[in-house]
Structure 1
Amino acid sequence: MTNSKNIISHGDIDQDFSQAVDMLKRNILDNNDTTFASVDEQLQILEDLTKFEAGRFLIKNNGGFNGFWTHYMLQFPENSQITNKSSDGSELTELESFIFSKGVITLATQQRYRIFLEENNKCVRENAELACIPGGLLGELLYLDFSKIKNIALYGIDLDEESLKYSIRLAEKMNLAQFTHTMHCDAWELPCKDKFDLVSSNGLNIYESDKARVSALYQAFYNSLKPNGKLVTSYIAYPPGSGELCEWDMSKIDCEALKRGMAIFTSVLGSIWQNFSTRSEMETMLNDIGYKDIKFIYDKAKIFPTVVAYKR
């Protein structure tokens, strides 16, 4: 069984919660960084994060999301935002509502997800083999249109066994279990070659700071695709403060919401998902691997671009 510490998106879920809170509190006091919020404001944010399930998970995992909470974020506009109920059925707190309905990165992520669904749906056809890596809850595939399909294979590939179990439950709920398969393995060590018509991948590259490792990941995807198979992926563009590397459209961004989000995820949680890329870097890497017909599709503020490419 793969050790949970190899999962780069989130850490050891058994970490003692009070210990995690104390560590973040010490970091806030020791850093004394008031770039995005005062020390007192940061301590209040930390306290407010303890009051809802997603916040407690973020505290224990340095601001990283697993498959369950990523799915919760992506479905928030259609679920909790309408019902005003949190994951446990309680009323949404103001902070949870902000994170999942107004946070700048969250909004870009939700827009990116809709773009993925549109692109992935173009690959739905009889007997196709579609993969989501990391699989998470497999929402990028399960929410596609299979109304005219009699046979198709949907693969969720993930190191996180809990996410794989949740994906099977979701597939059963949506009456798609007959199409759904899971593979518990490392994305860098895929056992498949020339197998998939589609690889849909969001997330792993934003947790991996080693550019060589990122390239190796996309090489593994390339190897797993059939000739002319389609890659749908994404990256976070460099944020403000990165000089000419920043490609965000600031005219489409609520700057106060951005500042508050940075206070939550950077100042308080010390988020580990802060590895960025430029369009040029992404295009060069994919070209060097051998991908063709590379195109970029942007969310409103160009924060979380979607990249579509094909195997030669």
Structure 2
Amino acid sequence: MHVLITGAAGFLGQRLTRTLLERGEVNGKALTRLTLVDRVAPAAPAHERITLDCRALDITRPGALDSLLGERPALIYHLAAVVSSAAEADLDLGMQVNFDATRALLEGCRAAGLADTRLVMASSVAVYGGELPAVLDDMTALTPQSSYGTQKAMCELLINDYSRRGLVDGCVLRLPTIVVRPGRPNAAASSFASSILREPLGGESTVCPVPTELELFVMSPGRVIDALLHAATLPGDALAPYRSMMLPGLTVSVAAMLEVLRELGGEEALARVSHEPDPRIESIVASWPARFETQRAERLGFVGDRDFHEIVRIFITEQETPRERSR
């Protein structure tokens, strides 16, 4: 099986790549080729049985993916995106990467005759916003309050229509806020949700830019990767007629997140968090809903985290494991 990943140098792309190489198969089929695409050539370890093709490619350039699509990948993970705050700050950039490149990808699949290729796109809770019911589901109207959310919503509708027409076999996963991300903060408005845990647990100070009563809908990185892999296994008939779904996350307040930080990291870790309101970040994040009914995703076999303690404990363990191995 040939798998193509756009945005492969990003956090999710790297983690998905490692998992695919470790498993060596997708849905019972041997993985024979893995093509990794990003603006900077993604790095991946050599594999004795899987051909790795790592390319630096600007997918906003017309026809950039045509030659790769002509090689007929059986599975495409479309993870390339400009994140929320960056898309809000630069409308043109967000439109080029988040929307125009996705439309070009769909048109490339259409031209190459990839009707049976499963296309999995990562969408976002940001497709919702404004006046909303207390609890949302997959069919709640999309009323995004940011350019990023609007761009993702447009892509969702396109993938659904191309799938309805039999031009591609799409599956769109609306990702909760991913916590805890390793590494350093990025330009996403939700980046603080990881920073208020990651930095204090690592002995560094950080800033919380939103009120502690603010609620978020969250999911751990591991569960997101599990969901991406599971999305490749579902028959198209199980996804139709509407190809987008919200993954089963957890609703948690910032105050509850900080309490888990105190419980697992101690008072000294909690003391490393200072509170400095940022109206720009708050206006974006507060527009995202935090309570969902996700029975459809659960019926299809997607699994969420048990509780927020588990999310943070797994992060701590993952950070300790590399240090233990280096001793």
Instruction: State the TM bucket, normalised to the shorter chain.
Output: 0.3 to 0.5
Per the normalisation by structure 2, the TM-score is 0.36
Larger RCO (CA within 8 A; separation ≥ 6): 1
Give 1 or 2: higher strand fraction.
2
- Judging by fraction of residues, say which structure has more helix: 1
Per the normalisation by structure 1, the TM-score is: 0.37
